[in-house]
């Protein structure tokens, strides 16, 4: 029997019954989709009936068209009702079987395995302390120009300080200039003063390089530079900032500090700062006692440096300091050998490292 023979109320009724029955019997979305294609797909039975309209005489076409349209509508409605039903049933099934026990302990994952390196931890602590004092963080590249690393900092070509730094030099360029692996963080002073207008309050933590290696020296180590430039900055400000910093980083209420006259080409006057400590058994008590440890260099920014960045020393002055970060980490967390810091030994990191979610904050405690 061809669908073309179908007459309204006859075979069409049989077709409708058959389709509605198949829809009701479809047990899942896949089966339902098959029924839909068989009825309404390109070569589906209803679709073929619609196509056959084109071959009919106009008077026949009208009545037959209405009937087929009605059929199509009822089958579509039945399909979507069945789909809603199957969707709901599937969801109910999943809700019943896929239960999550939210009272179970968290499975140990990568976050518990990983450790923050003590140097990163101390850098975060330092950033946190200086942010509280109103400093922002400045940056510069590890590969610096000779000019920024030395000349602009009042260290001219034949100055002996260049030898003291055991500098790693790159090959000379055609124009005679050469680049270096920065030997200290002070070039970031120059970059900052050239880019921004005073008042300035910045710190710059980063890697520095010098050809030197023993128990307390590695060819790459870390420093944080500090720079304050304003119109009425003096040594009292310098001393206060460094005292606040030392108390905060070592997490003690009083720190014995000693400012020793020293020399840096880029500061005048220049000082080195020692902090008092005492040994109790194997433990190092920081801030008290009669032994001294050097932890940083500092001073008032040299007028020549200000001139090199086009600041008038008659109007502006300020102070700078440079702190050895690895040094601080060794002291604070009792790690005797600096070389172990960079040996990438997982056992060492497990022992001395910090949990990633223990982020240092002043309010919550820096090291806990």
Closest C-alpha to 367, from 188, 174, 129? 129
Query: Binding residue for ligand PHE (CB under 6 A) from 44, 140, 287, 297?
Result: 297
Q: Is 286 exposed, middle or buried (0-12, 13-18, 19+ CB in 10 A)?
A: buried
Q: Which is nearer to ligand PHE, 44 or 226 (CB)?
A: 226
Q: Among residue numbers 125 through 154, which ones bind ligand PHE (CB under 6 A)?
A: none
Which of the ranges 121-129, 320-328, 336-344, 350-358 carries the binding residues for ligand PHE, by CB under 6 A?
320-328
Q: Which is nearer to ligand PHE, 115 or 327 (CB)?
A: 327
In the complex, the smallest distance separating the C-beta of residue 247 from ligand PHE, rounded to whole angstroms, is 20
In the complex, the smallest distance separating the C-beta of residue 359 from ligand PHE, rounded to whole angstroms, is 28
In the complex, the smallest distance separating the C-beta of residue 321 from ligand PHE, rounded to whole angstroms, is 5
Q: Which is nearer to ligand PHE, 155 or 248 (CB)?
A: 155
Q: Which is nearer to ligand PHE, 162 or 184 (CB)?
A: 184
Other CB atoms within 10 A of residue 10 CB: 10
Residue 297 tokens read as 């260099």
Q: Which is nearer to ligand PHE, 264 or 316 (CB)?
A: 264
Buried b (16+ CB within 10 A) or exposed e, 338-355: bebbeeeeeebbeebbbe
Query: Binding residue for ligand PHE (CB under 6 A) from 140, 206, 276, 299?
Result: 299
How far apart are alpha carbons 62 and 69 in whole angstroms? 11
Give the x-and-dash track for 85-114 against ligand PHE (CB under 6 A). Answer: ------------------------------
Q: Among residue numbers 168 through 207, which ones bind ligand PHE (CB under 6 A)?
A: 184, 186
How far apart are alpha carbons 326 and 24 in whole angstroms? 75
| Bridge partner list, 321 | 226, 298
How far apart are alpha carbons 114 and 268 in whole angstroms? 45
Q: With CB under 6 A as the rule, give the number of residues binding ligand PHE.
A: 11
Q: Which is nearer to ligand PHE, 113 or 212 (CB)?
A: 212
Q: Is 241 in the site for ligand PHE (CB under 6 A)?
A: no
Q: Is 320 in the site for ligand PHE (CB under 6 A)?
A: yes
In the complex, the smallest distance separating the C-beta of residue 327 from ligand PHE, rounded to whole angstroms, is 12
Other CB atoms within 10 A of residue 213 CB: 13
How far apart are alpha carbons 202 and 311 in whole angstroms? 17
In degrees rounded to 5, what are phi and psi of residue 226? -125, 145
Q: Among residue numbers 207 through 226, which ones bind ligand PHE (CB under 6 A)?
A: 225
In the complex, the smallest distance separating the C-beta of residue 244 from ligand PHE, rounded to whole angstroms, is 17
Q: Is 322 in the site for ligand PHE (CB under 6 A)?
A: yes
Which of the ranges 280-288, 291-299, 304-312, 345-353 carries the binding residues for ligand PHE, by CB under 6 A?
291-299
Which residue's CB atom is positioned nearest to ligand PHE? 322
Long-range contact set of residues 168-174: C-beta below 8 Å, sequence gap at least 24: 168/209, 168/210, 168/211, 168/219, 170/143
> Which residue's structure tokens are 């003096």?
234
Task: Give whole-number Cα distances, 367 to 218, 232, 254, 271, 355, in Å.
Answer: 25, 35, 18, 29, 11
Closest C-alpha to 250, from 351, 323, 310? 323
Q: Is 265 in the site for ligand PHE (CB under 6 A)?
A: no
Binding site for ligand PHE (CB under 6 A): 184, 186, 225, 264, 267, 297-299, 320-322
């Amino acid at each position: 029997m061809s669908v073309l023979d179908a007459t309204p109320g006859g075979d069409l009724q049989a077709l409708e019954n058959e389709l509605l029955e198949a829809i009701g019997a479809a047990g899942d979305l896949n089966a339902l989709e098959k029924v839909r294609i068989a009825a309404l797909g390109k070569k589906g039975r209803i679709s073929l009936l619609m196509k056959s309209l084109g071959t009919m005489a106009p008077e026949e076409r009208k009545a037959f068209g209405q009937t087929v349209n009605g059929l199509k509508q009822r089958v579509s409605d039945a399909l979507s009702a069945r789909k809603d039903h199957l969707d709901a049933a599937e969801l109910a099934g999943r809700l019943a079987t896929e239960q999550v026990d939210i009272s179970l302990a968290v499975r140990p994952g990568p976050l518990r395995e990983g450790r923050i390196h003590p140097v990163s931890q101390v850098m975060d602590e330092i950033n946190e302390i200086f942010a509280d004092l109103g400093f922002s963080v400045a940056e510069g590249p590890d590969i610096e120009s000779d000019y920024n690393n030395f000349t602009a900092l009042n260290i001219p070509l034949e100055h002996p300080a260049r030898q003291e730094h055991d500098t790693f030099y790159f090959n000379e360029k055609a124009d005679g200039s050469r680049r270096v692996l920065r030997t200290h963080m002070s070039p970031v002073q120059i970059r900052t003063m050239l880019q921004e207008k005073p008042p300035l309050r910045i710190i710059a933590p980063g890697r520095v390089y010098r050809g030197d290696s023993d128990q307390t020296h590695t060819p790459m180590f870390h420093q944080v530079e500090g720079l304050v430039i304003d119109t009425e900055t003096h040594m009292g400000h310098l001393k206060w900032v460094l005292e606040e910093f030392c108390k905060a980083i070592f997490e003690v209420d009083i720190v014995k500090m000693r400012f020793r006259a020293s020399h840096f080409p880029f500061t005048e006057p220049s000082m080195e700062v020692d902090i008092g400590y005492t040994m109790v058994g194997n433990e190092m008590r920081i801030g008290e006692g009669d032994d001294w440890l050097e932890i940083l260099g500092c001073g008032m920014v040299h007028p020549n440096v200000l001139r090199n960045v086009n600041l008038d020393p008659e109007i502006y002055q300020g102070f700078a300091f440079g702190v050895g970060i690895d040094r601080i980490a060794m002291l604070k967390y009792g790690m005797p050998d600096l070389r172990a810091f960079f040996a990438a030994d997982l056992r060492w990191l497990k022992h001395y490292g910090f949990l990633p979610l223990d982020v240092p904050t002043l309010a919550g405690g820096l090291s806990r």
